[in-house]
Amino acid sequence: MRPGRRAVLKGALVLAALPVAGFTADRRLSPIRTDPFTLGVASGEPTTDGAVIWTRLALNPLTDDGFGGMPARGVDVEWEVARDESFTRVEQRGMTTAVPDAAHSVHVELAGLRPGADYFYRFRAGGYVSPSGRTRTTPAHGSLAHMTMCVASCSNYEQGWFTAYRRLADEHPDLVVHLGDYQYEYGGSPGGVREHVGSETVTLDNYRQRYAQYKTDPDLQAAHAAAPWLAVFDDHEMANNWAGVVPGKPDVGFLSRRAAALHAM
């Protein structure tokens, strides 16, 4: 006997309410209409039992206001960590909120994981699931375990393609150390390989837009997803040569700029 129309509609509603691949259903009605995971995922600051995992929701990453086209309210973001890439052995999961004050970025500090082990992580918001990333905890104290480390620095978006980041990802390192000048503060300069969006970075909005532009690069996204990072900053994350500041004579304008740059990191 063929099912009636009411039974078919009821079944469709039940299927629509089911979670996506291990995630629970959204706990808020979401205004998100397109994939918000345009900037990829990342992890860093590994310890023997954890690491920090990161993503940022951005519907339109390059908006001038630095908010990436997101609504002016918090959005629930689910996360999960597994021992395998297919997420059949999930070890931890939880919920956090991406808020406008943080430009809808989230930082989850993991703990309670095994030392010297690979883990895979991903996020979900508004019915969309992020790309997955791989992180790795540091070896147990006193361990002589082998470790592969890659080092990067001085990555000017306008002066070349980020193919070195793709090669770095292909090496499957245990740790990436970035020694500074992750991004450059200069305004757009026509005639380069590609061009910065917006003016020279001075305000928090400027810096957020610039970081977003760098993170739209697929090769940089691959490097972030491949392994945890430890990053330090040099000068271009703020201003070339620290804007010529003389020690003992702080420039009020630069101090405001520095605060904006550090906030955006």
- Closest by CA to 31, choosing from 6, 7, 53, 57, is 57
Q: Does domain 21-143 have CATH number 2.40.50.140?
A: no
Burial 139-152 (b: 16+ CB within 10 A, else e): beeeeeeeeeebeb
CA distance 211 to 203: 13
CA distance 265 to 262: 5
Mean pLDDT of the chain: 88
pTM score: 0.86
- CB pairs under 8 A, 24+ apart, for 13-21? 20/124, 20/127, 20/129, 21/87, 21/129
Is residue 6 predicted with pLDDT exceeding 50?
A: no
Which helix H or strand E contains 208, and what residues bound it? helix 204-215
pLDDT tens for each residue of 22-61: 665 444 445 688 999 999 999 999 999 999 999 999 999 9
- Cβ-proximal residues to 54 (8 Å cutoff; 6+ apart), any chain: 41, 42, 43, 44, 105, 106, 107, 108
CA distance 131 to 236: 29
pLDDT confidence tier of residue 242, bands split at 50, 70 and 90:
confident
Report domain extents, the chain: 21-143, 146-265
